[in-house]
């Protein structure tokens, strides 16, 4: 096993700093409408389920967070009438998250803002650097998955 070097520590710390700065910038972009970047992220995760509205647990797994965190975010979106909690038709104990038409319309109108946000973020990053970053992140995700609980 190699020693942890200063560059690895820098990357580790920078991931937290980058996440915080992204959240601040994203919240600023969405703030006029009282939305947050985390609410946007929850919406995007729900949209990944094409066949049927996902459960809280399914979305939590996809987001890499807890059931309680997803429920808190979902409740905020429910208050804004962007999401509904619905009981599963086959098993009433299962709660599903369903986006409303109001939500779909809102995010559709904001799609260009998201594209511009990403373009600005990656303005000085080459295609090769993007591919390398994706590869590195995939390896980090694999390493985390292989850890014993």
Q: What is the pLDDT of residues 47-99, one digit of tens each?
A: 889 888 999 999 999 998 999 999 999 999 999 999 999 998 888 888 899 99
Per-residue pLDDT of 2-28, as tens digits, reads: 667 899 999 999 999 999 999 999 999
pTM of the model: 0.80
- List the alpha helices (DSSP H) in the chain: 6-30, 37-47, 56-63, 67-79, 101-121, 127-146
Domain ranges of the chain: 6-146
CATH class of 6-146: mainly alpha
């Amino acid at each position: 096993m190699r020693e942890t070097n200063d560059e690895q520590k820098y990357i580790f710390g920078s991931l937290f700093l980058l996440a915080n700065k992204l959240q601040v910038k994203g919240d600023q972009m969405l703030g006029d409408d009282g939305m947050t970047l985390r609410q946007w992220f929850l919406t995007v995760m729900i949209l990944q389920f094409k066949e049927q509205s996902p459960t809280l647990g399914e979305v939590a797994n996809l987001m890499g967070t807890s059931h309680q965190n997803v429920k808190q975010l979902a409740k905020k979106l429910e208050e804004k009438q962007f999401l509904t909690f619905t009981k599963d038709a086959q098993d009433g104990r299962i709660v599903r998250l369903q986006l409303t038409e109001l939500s779909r319309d809102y995010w559709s109108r904001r799609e260009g803002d998201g594209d511009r946000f990403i373009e600005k973020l990656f303005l000085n990053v080459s295609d090769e650097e993007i591919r390398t970053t994706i590869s590195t992140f995939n390896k980090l995700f694999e390493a985390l998955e292989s850890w014993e609980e």
